[in-house]
Amino acid sequence: MIKAALIVVDMLNDFIDEKGALYCGQDAREIVPFVRLRLEAHRRAGSPLVYLQDAHGKNDREFEKFPPHCVTGTWGSQIIDALAPQPGERVLPKTRYSGFYGTDLEMILASHGPEEVEVVGVCTSICVMDTVGGLANRDYRTIVPRAGVADFDAEAHSHALKRMKRLYGATIQ
């Protein structure tokens, strides 16, 4: 049996809920049941699970590029109820696109030594892709299921899937 880990990227109210500040659209809402199934499968297998949580200060420079979103402590920054972490599951706040920047993600993965890492969540062309790039830079075999990722830009989504496969060697299922 392959030892695996699951990273859930930014499945937060501001991205997934229609009332969210940076709503990623219906495509993002449609991946929720698939992500729930992947969480359940990894929980049954005893895989390490890591939730990445976009977490910005009120005056974050990212707001020069995007509307204010996922401000720490707000409703928008919370993981959606349908995918709520269970006790003991790691939630890593992050302030940049990559789940590795300024977090303990590298240490967590190293302590578990997975043979492969599955990545699901939003946005495919931003935080998912940058986190997959970080995994590639650390020589992790990575799986990105098409049914488990979404973006507010269909063209960027398609390009990101191609880039993760070609450049980072990710298996796109």
Low-confidence ranges of the chain (pLDDT < 50): none
Interstrand relation of 116-122 and 90-94 (parallel, antiparallel or unpaired): unpaired
Nearest CA-CA partner of 21 in 64, 61, 105, 77: 77
Question: Using CA atoms, how far apart are residues 165 and 145, in angstroms rounded to an integer?
Answer: 11
Q: Which fold has domain 4-172?
A: Rossmann fold (3.40.50)
| Span 128-157, pLDDT tens digits | 999 999 999 999 999 999 999 999 999 999
Question: Using CA atoms, how far apart are residues 116 and 145, in angstroms rounded to an integer?
Answer: 13
Q: Which two tokens stand for residue 148?
A: 């488990």
What's this model's pTM, rounded to 2 decimal places? Answer: 0.98
Q: Which two tokens stand for residue 121?
A: 């969540």
